[in-house]
């Protein structure tokens, strides 16, 4: 599996799981919107994962990969957190911190695993 | 009349042995090392404008059998074309009939110097694996070195590794062809263990006199094959079957020596898992050769697994050891996941409060 596909799948799965944690941490209003939250979180993970996979093909460094995944996911998480939730509140920390750590996990995984394409390996 | 000192005697002997030029091509410079069979000199190759090392048979050893041994040593080394084995460029005979062969002048430190240095464990493992590659290649070509020791391994400035001195090497292929094993040893005529002195074919600035003791006296008359029962090798590095003078020494003797070298290279190293390293060394240096790694490749594969943080075949690990090894190998991933979980739990409590 190449690094982009790996990042994409891992970001999708971890993003969905991250969204599902709202069931445990969110308010009742938030829980009612869980499907939207999971879809949004999955999409965020998918894009951040694909970017982390692309980065891993270009740069061979676990530290930089983790940092890249962290920053990209943080940026996406900020974009989502800046939109008010259904209860009208902003959940900056609850969305941004775990979201960025998920990005770091994907960044790490794409550095350690997955194949580089022939063109980028040259 | 006062007696001459040892160093003065060595100097005189060196001056006597050293040819000024060899043919029209080589200008001979200083002696780099000396063994039981001959000496190695630095020389300048006029035709190709480069420095080389030349091994010349000692005057005292000049006889048809010793000549044949030196020539066979050159032929074996020349057959082993591998980046990790010193290449032979030329062979010939001096005007006085002594045979010589010309080889690459190897720069770099001897392995014992590297052992004593502050090199990192990763570099040491790299060196060891390159050494394994060269020895495995020789085995694949039917040659067992039989005298692997730090003095016979050079490590260059860029980590390149070269194996020297096939003076007591054994040709397994020839033995098979003849239906019996024939040791080709070549080097040691005479006094020192085949003493192909470490430096005898260890050209290089830091060559030192041989340290091997002379176990090969017994083979002085072995031509060209080592006489059955002759002991060939260097104490401390040679396998038990070599010490016993068993005639059917095979590639596992080199596995034994490599195990000893691995132990010397890694020593007590806090960055290397001691138990697994010790298990690898123990298996490689088992007294019974059937208990050793069957091939150098198998030994190298275990060392690669050790470096990668994987389970090694030499050690049956417990569940706890396995868990710790996996945790150590994936510590970054585990740290990130734990951080994530910790934060999630924190937010759960934060949300409830």
Residue ranges of the domains in chain B?
A: 12-316, 320-352
Does residue B344 belong to the interface with chain A, where contact is any CB pair within 8 Å? yes
Mean pLDDT of B103-109: 89
**Distance from B321 to chain A by nearest Cα, in Å?**
23
Burial of B352 (0-12, 13-18, 19+ CB in 10 A): exposed
List B residues 124-163 in contact with A (Cβ-Cβ < 8 A). Answer: none
Residue burial B155-174, b: 16+ Cβ < 10 Å; e: rest:
beeeeebbbbbbbbbbbbeb
CB < 8 Å to B333, chain A: 105, 108-109, 112
Residue A8 lies in a domain: yes
Instruction: Quote the pTM value.
Output: 0.69
Listed ranges B66-75, B183-192, B213-222; the one with the highest mean pLDDT? B66-75
Q: Which residues pair with B27 in a beta bridge?
A: B21, B44
B271 has a chain A CB within 8 A of its CB: no
Determine, yes or no, domain membership for A51: yes
Confidence of residue B17 (pLDDT cuts 50, 70, 90): low
CA distance from start to end of chain A = 18
Q: For residue B308, what are the contacts with CB-CB under 8 A and spacing of at least 6?
A: B329
Answer whether residue A12 is part of any domain: yes
More confidently predicted of B23 and B310: B310
By C-alpha distance, the chain A residue nearest B352 is A25
Is residue A106 in some structural domain? yes
Q: What is the ipTM of this complex?
A: 0.71
Return the residue of B nearest to A62 by Cα: B332
CATH of B12-316 given 2.60.40.10, 3.30.565.10, 1.10.510.10, 2.160.10.10: 1.10.510.10
| Sequence-distant (≥ 6) Cβ neighbours of residue A16 within 8 angstroms | A38, A41, A42, A45
A118: distance to nearest CA of chain B, Å? 24
Rounded distance between C-alpha atoms, residue B5 and residue A111, angstroms: 65
Q: Which pLDDT band, with edges at 50, 70 and 90, does B212 fall under?
A: very low
Report the gap between the CA of B298 and the closest CA in chain A (Å).
26
Whether B351 and A108 lie within 8 Å, measured CB to CB: no
Least confident stretch, A3-7, A24-28, B22-26, B273-277: A24-28
Q: CB-based burial of residue B272 (10 Å sphere; 0-12 exposed, 13-18 middle, 19+ buried)?
A: middle
Q: How many residue contacts between A and B have a Cβ separation below 8 Å? A: 38
Judged by DSSP in three states, B56 sits in strand
Q: Which domain holds residue A48?
A: 3-116
CB-side neighbour CA atoms (13 Å) of B91: 16
Least reliable range by pLDDT among A59-68, B88-97, B103-112, B203-212: B203-212
User: Cβ of B344 and A98 within 8 Å?
Assistant: yes
| B335 near A CB under 8 A | no
Q: Which residues of B are catalytic?
A: 147
- A101 CB neighbours in chain B (<8 A) are 336, 339-340, 343
- Inter-chain contact A98–B333, Cβ cutoff 8 Å? no
8 Å CB contact between A103 and A15? no
Q: Do A24 and B344 touch (CB under 8 A)?
A: yes
pLDDT band at A116 (very low <50, low <70, confident <90, very high): confident
Contact check, Cβ <8 Å, A24/B348: yes
Total number of domains constituting chain A = 1
- Mean pLDDT for B60-79 is 85
Q: Could you report the per-residue pLDDT of B152-188, keeping only the tens digit for each?
A: 999 988 889 999 888 888 888 654 444 333 343 333 3
What are the φ/ψ torsions at residue B84 (nearest 5 degrees)? -95, 10
Q: Does A104 touch chain B (CB under 8 A)?
A: yes
Q: Nearest CA to B65 among B225, B232, B223?
A: B223
* Chain B nearest C-alpha distance from A9 (Å): 17
Q: Average of pLDDT values for A58-76?
A: 93
Asked whether residue A122 is assigned to any structural domain, the reply reads no
Higher pLDDT, A119 or B142: B142
Q: Smallest Cα–Cα separation from B262: which of B77, B129, B107?
A: B129
Q: For residue A29, is pLDDT > 50?
A: yes
């Amino acid at each position: 599996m190449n690094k982009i596909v790996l990042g994409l799948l891992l970001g999708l799965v971890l993003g969905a799981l991250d969204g599902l944690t709202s069931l445990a941490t969110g308010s009742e209003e938030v829980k009612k919107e869980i499907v939207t939250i999971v879809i949004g979180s999955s999409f965020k993970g998918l894009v951040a994962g694909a970017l982390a996979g692309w980065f891993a093909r270009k740069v061979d460094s676990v530290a930089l990969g983790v940092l890249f995944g962290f920053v990209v996911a943080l940026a996406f998480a900020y974009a989502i957190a800046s939109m008010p939730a259904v209860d009208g509140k902003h959940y900056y920390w609850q969305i941004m911190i775990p979201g960025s750590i998920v990005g770091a996990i994907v960044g790490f995984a794409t550095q350690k695993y997955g194949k580089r394409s022939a063109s980028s390996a040259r | 009349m006062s007696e001459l000192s040892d160093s003065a005697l060595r100097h005189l002997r060196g001056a006597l042995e050293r040819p000024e030029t060899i043919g029209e091509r080589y200008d001979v410079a200083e002696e780099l090392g000396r063994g039981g069979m001959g000496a190695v000199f630095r020389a300048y190759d006029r035709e190709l404008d480069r420095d080389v090392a030349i091994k010349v048979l000692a005057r005292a050893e000049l006889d048809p059998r010793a000549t044949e041994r030196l020539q066979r040593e050159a032929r074996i080394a020349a057959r082993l074309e591998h980046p990790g084995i010193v290449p032979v460029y030329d062979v010939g005979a001096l005007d006085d009939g002594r045979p010589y062969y010309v080889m690459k002048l190897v720069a770099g430190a001897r392995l014992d110097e590297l052992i004593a240095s502050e090199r990192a464990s990763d570099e040491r493992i790299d060196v060891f694996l390159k050494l394994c590659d060269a020895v495995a290649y020789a085995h694949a070509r039917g040659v067992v070195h039989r005298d692997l020791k730090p003095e016979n391994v050079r490590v260059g400035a860029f980590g390149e590794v070269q194996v020297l001195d096939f003076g007591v090497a054994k040709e397994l292929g020839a033995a098979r062809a003849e239906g019996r094993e024939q040791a080709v040893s070549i080097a040691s005529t005479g006094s020192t263990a085949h003493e192909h002195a470490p430096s005898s074919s260890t050209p290089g600035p830091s060559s030192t006199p041989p340290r091997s003791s002379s176990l090969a006296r017994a083979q002085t008359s072995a031509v060209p094959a080592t006489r059955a029962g002759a002991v060939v090798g260097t104490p401390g590095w040679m396998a038990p079957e070599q010490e016993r003078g068993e005639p059917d020494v095979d590639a596992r003797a080199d596995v034994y020596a490599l195990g000893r070298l691995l132990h010397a290279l890694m020593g007590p190293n806090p960055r290397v898992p001691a138990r697994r390293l010790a298990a690898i060394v123990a298996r490689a240096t088992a007294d019974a050769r059937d208990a050793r790694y069957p091939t150098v490749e198998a030994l190298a594969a275990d060392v690669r697994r050790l470096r990668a943080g994987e389970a090694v075949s030499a050690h049956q690990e417990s569940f706890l050891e396995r868990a710790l090894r996996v945790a150590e190998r994936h510590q970054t991933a585990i740290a990130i996941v734990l951080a994530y979980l910790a934060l999630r739990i924190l937010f759960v409590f934060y949300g409830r409060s």
